[in-house]
Every structure is written in C-alpha cells, then in structure tokens.
Structure 1
Amino acid sequence: MSEPVRIAARRSPLPEQRATTGPPHASTAAPKPSETPAPAGKKPGKARDAFFDNAKYLAIVLVAMGHSWEPLRGDSRAAAALYMTVYTFHMPAFIVISGYFSRSFDASPTRLKRLVTGVAVPYVIFEVAYTFFKRTAGDDPSYPISLLDPWYLTWFLIALFVWRLSTPLWKVIRWPLPVALAIAALASVSPDIGDDLDLQRVLQFLPFFVLGLVLKPEHFQLVRRKEARILALPVLAAALVFAYWAAPRMNAAWFYRRDSAQELAAPGWSGAVMTLAMFGCSVILVACFFAWVPGRKLWFTALGAGTLYGYLLHGFVAKGSRFWDWYEVDWVHTPAGQIVVTVAAMTLITVLCTPPVQRMFRFAMEPKMEWAFKRDAAEVARKR
C-alpha cells in the first residue's frame, strides 16, 4: 500500500455504531439517543431515550404515592417509613434528570422562548387555577392570588425556571457542585429568606439540579451495571429499616426543604449538617433507583413525556382528597385500605400522563404563543 493510501486509511473515521431507541437490557452502557429516519424534506430527529422516560414515569408515580401516604403516616409506622424513604429520593431523582437535560441550555432566543412557554406560563396558569380551587373546594374564599407565593406543587415550576436560567453560570464555574452545596447549606440556616418564590426550596434543592448538569452518560453507565443493581437491594433495605426507626423521632418536614433549621425548632448549625447528610443519602438512593430503572421500551415508556402533566394535574385530586375528607373513612386506615389508596394513586397518575390528557391540556402546558415573541430576522430571511 502506498504512503498516501496508508494515510487516508489511517484517517478515515470508523463506521458509526447504530444506537437503539433505548438502552439495551444487559448492556452496561447508556447509549445516546439515536437519530431516527425522517421523511424526505425533513431533518432527522433524535429518538427519545427509553431509560430516561422510564425513570421520569417511575419517579412521578412515587411522587403520587408519597402524596397519598401523607395522611396515613399517623396511623401506620410502616407507612411513615415508606413515606420518608420515598421522599428522600423521588424529587431529587426528578430534579437530577431535569438538570441532566438542561446541559444544552445556553440562553439563546429559541431556548428562552421554550423556557417561557413550557415553564413560566404553566406556572402562572396553574398557580391561578390552584388558587381558585383552594377558594372553592378548600372553602377559603379570601385566599389571594400571588405569583410570588407558589402554592402546593407549583414551586417546582418556579424552581425549574430559576435553575435553568442559571445554567450558563454553573457551566463556567470550576467547582459547581461544592458551590451549590454551600449555597444550600447557607439557605438552611437563614430563616430571613422568606417565602417569596419558595426560595428556600429553590436553593436547598439546587445541588441536585447542578448534579444533573455535571453528570455524563458514563455516570449512568456505572449505576446500571449488574453489580449496582445487586448492591442497590441491601442499601434500599437498610434505608427502610433506618426510616422505620427514625419515623417517630424525626420531623418529616426536613425532606420538604421549604424551611430553615430554626423554623423547624432546631439549632441553626444543624441545618448545614442536615443539608450535607440528606444530600448524601438522597444521592445514594437516587443511584439505587436508577440502577433498577429498565432501559428497554415498555408499555409506560411513552408516558415519560407527560410526567409534568401528571404532576400538576394530580395535585387537584391530592388536595381535594383532604378538602373533601376522603381520609376520614375508617377503612382507608386499614392495611387493605392503604393498599387501595396506593393503587388508586398509581392509576390516577398513569392516566394523567397519557397522550389524550396531554392533548387536552397542551394549551396550558405547552402553548405556542408565537404572537408574544419577535420573529427571528435570520429565520425570516431563510424562509424567503
């Protein structure tokens, strides 16, 4: 072979490996989303990764289950232990995924428009809707509309808005995660932060979003190994045993991260200690959760695209169950009743994530709002 031929052969790229729609069952790798064939005249799109859609669906199911267990904690130590265990990692897992998929956010006009229509506008709509729901179903006609004081589940939207806007900053900081942990620890010892925009939650959950930003595909490869799945079982069992011991001794409000240590009647220094300790516990359990998330496409994989619908819509039922005294029925507090409540919560959140529900409420969750934005001059020129 001549020298030019040898150089060309050496420089020629290897054939691109074809990725599956979702990570394979036995593979330890978390393959990147593959490009799917596109019709003629259209750009190829990227297929959704089944692993992350499965993770989002399972996480939102745990959120609904946790909300259904809340009124049962006083009657059942086992329910309280399950509640504490799930609350340790279900929202952190959801936030880590949100951070992971925010890595490409660059504050460009297109992404800012998407942030406004997909996060800010739904926040306003559901904050107003929840307020009127509380006024009517909650029998509180004087409850004010306040976009500065998120009620119930809407805190996540305003938090996601703030976190995503700050993404470019975290991408240039040398040690983003330690800085985020320091901010969360300082927030936990600062009772004067107040309730505006639920800033305590925004700051105390911030490290999980930043963790998602710094994670790479190979990190998910590690937790999806067979060894990790096996190790996750005793770790989860130990967490349940510890939660059973801690249930009557620990204030569950620590898991909500909406108050400072002083507001929880604890010494100020304990806020920083609890922030670091709970972050460590949450990360371990999040890893255990990811280890058991299936990577192949299943019947519920498509529901992962509608988890925010299920999250916001199920809040009306979750709060309505308290307003309408559904938990006052005696049989609900029996073991059989608790199982029925759990299954009902799982069924409800599953239905609310389905495509028909998404189509019905897309006007509120994903409005186009082209009228509200300036047209990009370059795009207009290309069309001409």
Structure 2
Amino acid sequence: MSKNTKEQEIPYSYLVDNIKIFLIFLVVFNHIIAFQLVKADQVVRFVWYGITIFHMPAFIFISGYLSKKPQDVMKNVKNLLIPYILGYTLTWAAQIWLGNKMDYELLRPSGTVMWYVLALFAYRLTIEAFGKIRFIVPLSIIFALWAGTRMEFSTFLSASRIVVFFPFFVAGYLWKSEYTKVIRKFKGKIVVALFVIILLFVATNYMIGNNIPVDLFRGNHSYLASGMDNVEGMVVRGMMYLISFTVIFALLVLMPDKRHPFIFLGRNTMGIYFFHYPIMILMNGLMILNIPQLMNVWALFGVSVLFVLILGSLPVDWVYTNVMGLITFILFKREKKVEDEGLEDEYDSEEEDRFAVLAQRRMAIEELAATWDTSFDAEEKEDHEEGQS
C-alpha cells in the first residue's frame, strides 16, 4: 500500500460512531415530530427548527470525512444508487398503499428522504477532482449562496440540495484526524456547549419570529420559492453555514470517544435511514401518530429511540445488506478478466520495433565514429613519423 493511500485511510474511531448515532437519532426524531406534533406544539416547532439548522449538514460532513478512500464507480452504484431507487420506490409504495396520490418521479425525490443518498452518490463521484481545488470550501459556499438566486437549481435530481450541502461534504473530506486531536484538547467544554445552545436559540428565535420557512435550511428551493428576496436569503443561508460548522466543531469536541454496548448502531445507520421514513408514513396514514398518547414530545422521543435500536440492530442490518447484495448479484455481471485481444501486444511490438530501429541507428553511428577516430589516429601517427625522418 502506498504512503498516499495510507494517509487517505482515516481510522474509524468511536468518536465517529457516537456522532453518527447522535445524528441519525436527530434525523429520525425530527421526521417523526414533523408529521403532527410540530403543528400542535409551538415549543416542539422551536426544537424542530433548531435541529433542522444543523443535523443534515453535520451528517454530510461525517459522510465526507469517511469518503477519503479512492472512489469506485461500480461500488457506489451498488451501495448508493440501487438503495436510492429502492428507497424511493418503498416510500412511493407506502403512499400508494394508503391511497395517497404521489407521482413516481424518480428524478425528483421530493417527498422522500432519499435525496441524501442521491447527493452522496454525486459527491463521491466528483470529490476526488473537486477536493484538489484550492479554497474549495469557501468557493463552494459562494456558489451555493449564488445558486439560491437561480430557479434552475430545484428538486430535479436534488440539484439544489446537492449544491447547498456540498460545502459540508468537501469540508469533511478535507478534515484530518490531527485537527480533531487538536480541538479536543480544549478544556472549556462547558463553554462550547453553552455557546452552541445560545447560538441555536437565537437563530431559531430569529427564524420563527420573522416567519422564515424552514425550507431554506433544507436547501430544496430558491430564495424566492421560499418566500424571501435574494439578499435576505443569502444572509440567512450564510447564517446556516456559520451555525452548522460551529455545531460540527462542537460535536467533535464534546462527543465521547468511547465504546459502549450500542456502538454498533454507528455502523448501521444506512438501514435506519432507509426504513424509518416509509414506516413513519404508514404510521401516520393509519392514524397511529394521532393517538393522544403519542401527541407528546417525550413519547415520540422514546419511539425514535426504538426506531434507532430496532432498525440499527444486527438482524435488520443483515437483512438490508443481503437483500441489496442479492439485487446487485441479479442486476450486474460478475467481474471477469477482460479477454486479451492482442491489441496491447500489437502496440507493444510496434514500440519495441521502434526502439530496435533506433538502437540499430545508434550502433551504426557509434561504429562510424569509431572508424573516423581510427583513421584520424593512423593519419596522425603517419605525419608524426614523417616529421621525425
């Protein structure tokens, strides 16, 4: 293994596991409270806004951090594009089964959570090129702020979200474990925690107090489509970048880097993400989320914990992994060694012939030069003998 490859491989620490567990819980919790409870409880709405500001940016940052190895296109097709198609189809099927109308728009994954998987597929295909650009993080932020002024960045292929969240992915890609070691030496952890809480409190108050839609933090639409002018939209989205990066750094400082009995959940987040939303759609359609006992933030907190524990369990992960493996086995041919049709030999022989001709010419030149030297020495010797006589 080359030195460069070793440098690209970041050890998967318990810190990363714990951050992923925390963030996937927030994803599940934020989705389940959005169905009914956010509409009924203003305090929950406040919490919902606060989580939405940073939870996907932080998740995408970690995804970028874990994408440092050289990317394989076919591997990403199998691990991301196929789950994207199946996850979208599962969500669509849940809506249709409930009698709801939902057009099957695979290239426009609004109404599902699978946009993240599509975005991750796009990021991993391009990150090795974009990661080499100088100042790529600030440049991508500037581009994302500008993209919000353009209507063409929309839900089609999640173009808007891919652009808006790319700065977090590339920042994670460029982040080094050495940076984490440095910032984790900071002693004032309580100060960091209080600062983040106050920052989120102020930002959420500003958003709700000014009737700014949460869609702006989701990055799914232009500023105008979110009911804002371009200047205000850029300011608020810029605020989202500032707050999100601050929270990400705080997570790297505050989250424990220790093993615990549920550490395996950090490595099984894909199954949680894949299954949780279709199940919630079914629960909501069957009026389960309207039960008075579940119209309570602590009850839904507990339900979210159960979602994470069950869907992240080893049996569910085994089912998810093997079903995906079976599908890719059916769809894709086994990798075989390409049959040698002699083209390389033909080109190699031409190359060898060319070198042979050059070698022959060089040998002829050297022989001719040697002949000249011999003739010159003979003439010089003859002249010298004549001079002595």
How far off is 1:315 after superposition? 0.6
Instruction: Please identify which structure carries the higher helix content.
Output: 2
Which residue of 330, 335, 338 maps to 1:375? 335
- Residue 245 of structure 1 and its aligned partner are, at CA, apart by 2.5
Aligned length: 327
CA deviation after TM superposition for structure 1 residue 367, in Å: 5.0
Q: Percent of counterpart pairs with the same letter?
A: 21
Distance 1:124 1:220, change over 3 A: same
Q: Does 1:166 align with 2:130?
A: no
Q: TM-score, normalised by structure 1?
A: 0.79
Structure 1 partner of 2:22:
58
Alignment-mate amino acid for residue 262 of structure 1 = L
**Unmatched tracts of structure 2, length 5 or more:** 1-8, 341-389
Partner SS, residue 177 of structure 1: helix
Residue of structure 1 in register with 2:361 after alignment:
none
Superposition pairs for residues 149-228 of structure 1, below 5 Å? Answer: 149-150=108-109, 151-227=111-187
1:231 corresponds to: 191
> Could you tell me which of 39, 58, 63 is aligned with 1:98?
63
Distance 1:367 1:242 in 2: 49
Q: Distance in 1 between matches of 2:333 and 2:77?
A: 10
Instruction: Give the counterpart of 2:85 among 124, 148, 151.
Output: 124
8 Å contact from structure 1 (residues 99, 211) kept in 2: yes
Letter in 2 for 1:76: D
Matching of residues 1-384 of structure 1 within 5 Å: 33=11, 48-70=12-34, 71-106=36-71, 111-137=72-98, 139-140=99-100, 143-150=102-109, 151-227=111-187, 229-243=189-203, 245-246=205-206, 247-249=208-210, 250-333=212-295, 337-366=296-325, 369=328, 372-373=332-333, 375=335, 377=337
What SS does the aligned partner of 2:268 have?
helix
Deviation at 1:370?
5.1
What is the alpha-carbon distance in structure 1 between the residues aligned to residue 46 and residue 185 of structure 2?
Answer: 28
The answer for unaligned runs of 5 or more in structure 1 is: 1-30, 34-47
C-alpha separation between the residues in 2 aligned to 1:199 and 1:152? 15
Partner of 2:353: none
Distance 1:348 1:128, change over 3 A: same
2:349 match? none
Name the structure 2 match of 1:12.
none
Give the direction of change, closer, same or farther, for the CA distance of 1:350–1:163 in structure 2 (3 Å limit).
same
**Shift of the alpha carbon at 1:212?**
0.7
Instruction: Give the 3 Å change call, closer, same or farther, for CA 303–327 of structure 1 in structure 2.
Output: closer
Q: Which protein is bigger by CA-based radius of gyration?
A: 2
Amino acid across the alignment from 2:81: A
| Structure 1 residues 255-303: Cα deviation after superposition (integer angstroms, max 9, x where no partner) | 2111110001111222322222210111111222232221111112111
Q: CA deviation at 1:309?
A: 0.6
Compute the TM-score of the two structures, normalised by the length of structure 2: 0.78
Q: Residue 258 of structure 1: SS of its match in structure 2?
A: coil
Q: 1:273 to 1:132 in 2, by over 3 A?
A: same
Counterpart AA for 1:57: I
1:202 shift after superposition: 1.0
- SS of the residue aligned with 2:142? helix
**What CA distance in whole angstroms lies between the structure 1 residues aligned with 2:17 and 2:294?**
32
CA distance, structure 2, for counterparts of residue 102 and residue 210 of structure 1: 10
